[in-house]
Each structure stands twice: as structure tokens, then as C-alpha cells.
């Protein structure tokens, strides 16, 4: 299993989820963008990091009461305390948005511990406060009620679904203001490189389009455009 290189991490921090989904589509992967998951912390930087997962099943009234938070064994609380620094906690809530999957204090603790961010396909509470965090948190919407009402936290770091997408522990999670994409870890380095190159070309395309060029022949490029792009590359992209 390949580790994400520093270079790939830097590249991923500047490319978009849109570009990454195209690179994954080229590799035959069509279902990589989480549906219905939005960024809560509006001004947070890009999210990049390997997935550390939490699995929930539906709650049962006799098992999921406030007492479960006593002690040190509740999987949701363990997830917050055990997600490794630099990793992204991804919570499988089966798309149930009528209750929260976490709140402000847990997000704060995960941030203090050095996690890269949190992603949930359930609701989230304390969203007015979390919206102000300068740290990436994604969820399917604001929802005040406690997770215990609908969710029973069960497993740590097993393969899950989130937003309809498979997430295996260690997969690279990437988020921007559009949403969250899951990159299988085996191909994350090459996807990062190709995405970075694709966006460099698209910066050239934007310049061309602003100058009045047609989409035809430019995007995708014909031979003439390809030649012009090579020249542009030689000139060096302005910072």
C-alpha cells in the first residue's frame, strides 16, 4: 500500500474535487463524490488526509442512552480520541440527517489532537459555532438532536459507506468548498500528479477562453492548442 508522498499531499491541497473526480472517472471509478455532504466550516482550508472511520447502526432505546458516554468505551468518543494526527475522521451515519453525529466540543477535541478534519453523512449539531472554525468539517446538514436518538456507534476503522461512497481506512479524503471526494489510497499519488497537471492545463484554457477562443479545439485541445500550451509552459506560468 503506497503512502501519500509530501508532493502528492501538496498537490491535493490545491486541486479541486471536480478535477479529482475526472481523474478517477478516467480510471473507471464513477462513484467517488459524497452525495449530500457539505462543508460546515465555511472558511476552512482544503481537507486532505487518510480516512479513519466510525461506523454507526440505527439506535435501540435500551442500549443507546446518555449513560453510554460514561467510561472510555463509547466508539464515537473513542473515534475522537483515537483518530491519528493528520487523519480524517469519516463517520458512516447511513445518510440519517434527522439527528447529529457530533457537535462542537468533539470537533474541537479532534482539532486539538491534530486530526485533519471530520466528515459525516449524518447531521451535525452546534453548527453555528463549527461554521466559525478554521478547520474542515463536513456534514449532511445542521441537526440539533443528540446522536443517541438515531445512531449507535459501533466500529472503528472498518470499511464503511459515507454519502453513498465506499470508504476504506487509509483512502485519501479530499474536500473543498464543493464537497468531498474519496481517492483509493493505491492510486492517490498518481491521481494527485495527474490532477495537478490537468489544472495547470485548465489555467491555460481559462486564459485562452478569456481571450475569446472557442471551446472547440481548446477544451479538449487540438494540435494547435497543444503546441500553444507547450509554449506557455516554457514561458513559465505567472505566479
Q: For residues 120-149, which are near its own copies according to CB under 8 A?
A: 125-128, 131, 142-146, 148-149
Q: Is 235 exposed, middle or buried (0-12, 13-18, 19+ CB in 10 A)?
A: exposed
**Candidate ranges 20-28, 83-91, 188-196, 228-236; the one touching its own copies (CB under 8 A):** 20-28
Q: Does 216 bind its own copies (CB under 8 A)?
A: yes
Measuring CA to CA, which residue among 68, 87, 82 is closest to residue 151?
A: 68
Q: Which of 60, 223, 234, 235 binds its own copies (CB under 8 A)?
A: 60
User: Under the criterion CB under 8 A, does residue 188 sit at the interface with its own copies?
Assistant: no
Does residue 14 belong to the site contacting its own copies (CB under 8 A)? Answer: no
Cβ closest to its own copies, residue 62 vs residue 231: 62
For residue 105, the minimal CB distance to its own copies (Å) is: 6
Residue 151 has φ and ψ, to the nearest 5°, of: -115, 140
Between 6 and 153, whose beta carbon lies closer to its own copies? 153
Please, are residues 52 and 79 in contact by the beta-carbon 8 Å criterion? Answer: yes
Residue 43 CA to residue 102 CA, distance in Å, equals 20
Residue among 6 and 190 whose Cβ is closer to its own copies: 190
Phi, psi of 182 (to 5 degrees): -110, 125
Amino acid at each position: 500500500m503506497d503512502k501519500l508522498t509530501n508532493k502528492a499531499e501538496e498537490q491535493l491541497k490545491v486541486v479541486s474535487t471536480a478535477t479529482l473526480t475526472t481523474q478517477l472517472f478516467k480510471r473507471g471509478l464513477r462513484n467517488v463524490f459524497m452525495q449530500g455532504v457539505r462543508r460546515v466550516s465555511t472558511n476552512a482550508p482544503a481537507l486532505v488526509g487518510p480516512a479513519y472511520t466510525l461506523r454507526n447502526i440505527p439506535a435501540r432505546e435500551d442500549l443507546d442512552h446518555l449513560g453510554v458516554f460514561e467510561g472510555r468505551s463509547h466508539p464515537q468518543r473513542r473515534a475522537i480520541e483515537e483518530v491519528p494526527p493528520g487523519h480524517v475522521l469519516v463517520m458512516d451515519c447511513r445518510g440519517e440527517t434527522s439527528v447529529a453525529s457530533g457537535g462542537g466540543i468533539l470537533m474541537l477535541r479532534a482539532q486539538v489532537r491534530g486530526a485533519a478534519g471530520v466528515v459525516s453523512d449524518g447531521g451535525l449539531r452546534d453548527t453555528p459555532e463549527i461554521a466559525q472554525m478554521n478547520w474542515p468539517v463536513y456534514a449532511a446538514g445542521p441537526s440539533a438532536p443528540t446522536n443517541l436518538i438515531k445512531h449507535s456507534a459501533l466500529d472503528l476503522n472498518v470499511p464503511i459507506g459515507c454519502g453513498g461512497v465506499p470508504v476504506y481506512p487509509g483512502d485519501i479524503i479530499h474536500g473543498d468548498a464543493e464537497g468531498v471526494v474519496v481517492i483509493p489510497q493505491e492510486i492517490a499519488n498518481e491521481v494527485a500528479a495527474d490532477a495537478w497537471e490537468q489544472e495547470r492545463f485548465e489555467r491555460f484554457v481559462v486564459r485562452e477562453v478569456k481571450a475569446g477562443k472557442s471551446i472547440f479545439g481548446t477544451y479538449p485541445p487540438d494540435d494547435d492548442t497543444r503546441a500553444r500550451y507547450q509554449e506557455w509552459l516554457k514561458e513559465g506560468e505567472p505566479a
